[in-house]
Chains A and B, each alone.
Chain A
Amino acid sequence: MFDDFFIRALVAGVGIAIVAGPLGCLVIWRRLSYFGDTLSHSALLGVTLAYSFSLNIAFSVFVISAVVALLLVSLQKRTKLAGDSLLGLLAHSTLAIGLVLIGFLSYIRFDLMGLLFGDILAVTTADIGLVWIGGSIILIILYFIWKSLFSATVNYDLSAAEGMRPEVSNFIFTLLLAGVIALSIKMIGALLITGLLLIPAAIARNISNSPRQMIVIAILSGILSVVVGLFTSLEINTSSGPSIIVVALILFIISLVPLEIKGQLQKR
């Protein structure tokens, strides 16, 4: 019933949703959504460099995202600009450099729309392996630094005082974020990756009351968004990334209903 490419996209997409769940929760808790955005904008530069030097796309995107994250940290120490200004600076300049470089690569047939918004046709068997192996590595590392990361999210000083070494786990977390962006760029596209990190976690926040519950719900709603989004994408021939994000948005709106009902009940 399904074409092979569709099964591949489904398997890869579910893998991404599982990894994006816990990372997305951390992005929300730490108010890092714009940081995620910056990393994904710079991902486009990673892709063009991958084409220019015929590197693996995921590898190149990971390296560029990681470099941008480190640049941000060093700029924060050196300049008097606020974090959001620096993020904007890095996001738009790396995006611009990426787009300029694409201009030089006119000899390669380029699917810009695919890069920006994702293309399920592009998912190969190798990509599935990459998503699941890379994703497992990310989750395993996350598991080991979780306590430190989580306590630092609640209170940095407390975490540092009680020997959790938050500076180390913060650094690793940045790399993991770069990693998940690298894994999902083909599928979701550079412009929409942060959406897959954020929206499922936002849905989960609406209907959960413990950190663990929020992570589980984020993963489940991520998977649901991917599956329904991909079916829609196949049926009505839309780009995969936007379709997934639109489904996630609809789920978010639905998740507001219990909050509303609760609010109404409390008023009475």
Chain B
Amino acid sequence: MNENNNLLVRLKDCGVQKSSKWIVKGISLEIHKGKIVTLIGPNGSGKTTTAKMALNILKSDEGSIENYSTKMAYVPQKISIDWTMPLRVIDFMNLTSHINKDEIIEALELTGVQHLIYNEIHNLSGGEFQRVLIARAIAKKPDLLVLDEPVQGVDFNGEIALYNLIKEICTKLNCGILLISHDLHFVMSATDHVICLNGHICCSGSPKSIVKNSSYIELFGEHNAATLSLYQHEHDHSHQTDGSVKN
């Protein structure tokens, strides 16, 4: 039972179908407290869809989803605030739950944007807004945190700092994190479990085992893979253009 107490979400053979085409299929994954699970894969490989299944936004058309988390926080990939709404950073921080002001300031300090607290959201730059989004998710003190390309548009130094922060938050709050990222370096050095997606799970496992996997090398190219691994194994399957497995 001890092991199960730490379980937050379990997806078993899940998939999403849109107008009779599977966007993702056969997805199984588990997210535990204090662990970072990363989804990597090319554009359109179903990373966001998988994350939305874990968050209960999308219903799975097959398989089963068990969700034991009580408090989820989400940093969506793309978010556009309507200009018709006068929304300040502080209002946005309180969006889905009331958080007291000290905690808001503390969270904004962590992502380096505390000076923007009374600014209107639509005056922020892309990177600044991304920092606010991350701060908002952290301030909620969730037990499950889902981050969909959280550092897009953030400057180079900020990117590293934010990734370190994500790692730190995971330990500090003892929360489970599902991260979608294109930064293979961070993925391989800091996360606990990597899932390589392309419409289905190509391969998954610890970063160490993943970089040796031929599917991973095929998806990300020799060069990228080689920077992180010295090994290369035989390909066990290859892909069609839509990501399905060639027979």
Contact = CB atoms under 8 A, between A and B. Distances in A.
Interface in B81-113: 81-82, 84-88, 91-92, 95-97
A209 B74 contact: no
Given A150-B95, A154-B92, A160-B55, A209 B76 contact: no
A107 B82 CA distance: 50
A151 B96 contact: yes
A258 interface: no
Contacts of B73: 161-162
Mostly helix, strand, loop or mixed at chain A's interface?
helix
A158 B74 contact: yes
Contacts of A153: 82, 85
B86 A214 contact: yes
B120 interface: yes
B144 to A, nearest CB: 10
Interface in A207-235: 208-211, 213-214
Contacts, number: 72
Given A31-B82, A153-B85, A161 B57 contact: yes
Interface in B61-82: 71-74, 76, 79, 81-82
A29 interface: yes
A29 B95 contact: no
Most chain A beta carbons < 10 A, residue from B57, B84, B92: B84
Contact of A29 (B57, B71, B82): B82
A147 B84 contact: no
Contact of B74 (A147, A161, A205, A210): A161
B52 interface: yes
A163 interface: yes
B146 interface: yes
A29 B81 CA distance: 10
A164 B94 CA distance: 13
A157 B91 contact: no
B74 A162 contact: yes
A136 interface: no
A94 interface: no
A158 B52 CA distance: 10
Nearest to B121: A154
Contact of A205 (B55, B84, B140, B146): B84
B56 interface: yes
A249 to B, nearest CB: 19
Given A147-B96, A155-B76, A157-B74, A211 B57 contact: no
A205 B96 contact: no
Interface in B113-161: 120, 140, 146
Given A151-B95, A157-B52, A210 B88 contact: yes
B30 to A, nearest CB: 19
A57 to B, nearest CB: 32
B84 A28 contact: yes
A161 B145 CA distance: 10
B56 A211 contact: no
A154 B87 contact: yes
A83 to B, nearest CB: 16
A241 B214 CA distance: 72
Contacts of A155: 76, 79, 81
Nearest to B86: A209
Contacts of B74: 157-158, 161-162
A154 B52 contact: no
A243 interface: no
Interface in A144-175: 147, 150-151, 153-155, 157-164
A153 B95 CA distance: 10
B76 A211 contact: no
A161 B95 contact: no
B85 A211 contact: yes
A29 B85 contact: yes
A161 B84 contact: no
Contacts of B52: 157, 161
14 contacts: A29-B82, A29-B84, A147-B96, A147-B97, A153-B85, A154-B85, A157-B57, A158-B96, A161-B74, A162-B73, A162-B140, A164-B96, A209-B120, A211-B85
Given A31-B84, A153-B82, A161-B57, 14 more contacts: A154-B81, A154-B92, A155-B81, A157-B74, A158-B74, A158-B76, A158-B96, A159-B95, A159-B96, A161-B52, A162-B96, A210-B87, A210-B88, A211-B87
